[in-house]
Structure 1
Amino acid sequence: MQPLDSLDRRLIAELRIDARAPVSHLAERLGISRATVEKRMARMIATGAILGFTVRARDDVRGGVRAVMLIEVAGRSTSAVIHSLKGMPELRTLHTTNGGWDLVAEIETETLTDFDRVLREVRSIDGILNSETSLLLSSV
């Protein structure tokens, strides 16, 4: 994949604000031509730098329970733990990280009962030593 330059990163930042913005609006905001925006977007889609476009709904419209879980993994079991976690539909994202924790997972469930079940399931996976979970209350 071709590295992103500062214009690519600025274009992605604009798309994060409004992925449905007209190309002419993006060009104006970035101070470049429409053709340049179209060419850059096509290249980033083709190379996989942009994976798709999505809708972000307000938290109060989405409902449900969202949380971030920090996970500590035993020794060399990270790959097996990741494989187990990826099979859980309630885990929206999973990241490796540095520091005291090995993985960071974003969890989303419909109810607190479902959330409680997911916490128990995650904590019962072989190789998980410890976890710390914080509910996401509101976005600011």
Structure 2
Amino acid sequence: MEKLDRLDYLILAELQEDARKSLREIAEKLGVAEATVYNRINKMRKLGIIEKFIPVINYSKLGFDLIAVIGISAEGGHVVELEDLLAKEPNVTAVYDVTGEFDVIAVAKFKDRDSLNSFVKRIAGLEHVKKTYTMVVLNVVKETHLIDIKKLLLEG
């Protein structure tokens, strides 16, 4: 893997803050040429570090304010198959292969309890599912896809 330098991390931090920032804005803030920012971003896209430029949507404002964290135990040898099925579900925002009591943790968002109920019953009824355990989120304290690049990678 190609090593990133301080400037790469600073560019990433700027993009995390607002991916709509122009190359000129980023270049001026960091004191480098616009072409430098362009080339660094392209390099990080080619390396797979930057995957997409997408909006951050507040799903609660669209009515998806019921969040469930679902632990699932699968029959041996069928975990990947189950993960693939869960990853294709439209309500599922994350699927994790984990250690511990469960094989898989899925996070999903729903508009109402009936939708959640139908989803859990359908998942529990899948052929290789041994057990499910559903937790409903009462309050979102923090939900982000970001890490603090400046603190973790530049100051650390």
TM-score (norm 1): 0.75
Question: What amino acid does structure 2 have at the position aligned with 1:36?
Answer: T
Q: How do residues 36-55 of structure 1 correspond to structure 2 at under 5 angstroms? A: 36-55=36-55
* Displacement after TM superposition at 1:78 (Å): 0.8
Q: Which has the larger radius of gyration?
A: 2
* Displacement after TM superposition at 1:107 (Å): 0.7
CA offset digits 1:118-138 (Å, max 9, x no partner) = 111122223323334332633
Find the partner of 2:137 among 107, 129, 135.
Answer: 135
Aligned partner of 2:154 in structure 1 is: none
Question: What amino acid does structure 2 have at the position aligned with 1:45?
Answer: R
In percent, how many aligned pairs have the same letter?
Answer: 22
* Displacement after TM superposition at 1:92 (Å): 2.3
Query: What is the DSSP-based 3-state SS (H/G/I as helix, E as strand, rest coil) of the residue aligned with 2:109?
Result: strand
**Residues 80/58 of structure 1: CA separation in 2 closer, same or farther (3 Å cut):** closer
* Displacement after TM superposition at 1:117 (Å): 0.9
Question: What amino acid does structure 1 have at the position aligned with 2:36?
Answer: T
* Runs (5+) with no aligned partner, structure 2: 143-156
* Displacement after TM superposition at 1:116 (Å): 1.3
Aligned partner of 2:89 in structure 1 is: 88
Aligned partner of 1:113 in structure 2 is: 114
**Residues 137/63 of structure 1: CA separation in 2 closer, same or farther (3 Å cut):** farther
Query: Quick check: 1:68–1:136 contact (8 Å CA) kept in 2?
Result: no
* Displacement after TM superposition at 1:6 (Å): 5.0
TM-score (norm 2): 0.69
Question: What amino acid does structure 2 have at the position aligned with 1:16?
Answer: Q
Query: What is the DSSP-based 3-state SS (H/G/I as helix, E as strand, rest coil) of the residue aligned with 2:52?
Result: coil
Query: What is the DSSP-based 3-state SS (H/G/I as helix, E as strand, rest coil) of the residue aligned with 1:67?
Result: strand
* Displacement after TM superposition at 1:139 (Å): 4.6
Question: What amino acid does structure 2 have at the position aligned with 1:134?
Answer: V
Matched, 1:17 2:22: no
- Matched pairs, number: 139
**Residues 29/97 of structure 1: CA separation in 2 closer, same or farther (3 Å cut):** farther
CA offset digits 1:72-97 (Å, max 9, x no partner) = 33322112212322332221222223
Q: How do residues 97-112 of structure 1 correspond to structure 2 at under 5 angstroms? A: 97-112=98-113
* Runs (5+) with no aligned partner, structure 1: none
Matched, 1:5 2:4: yes
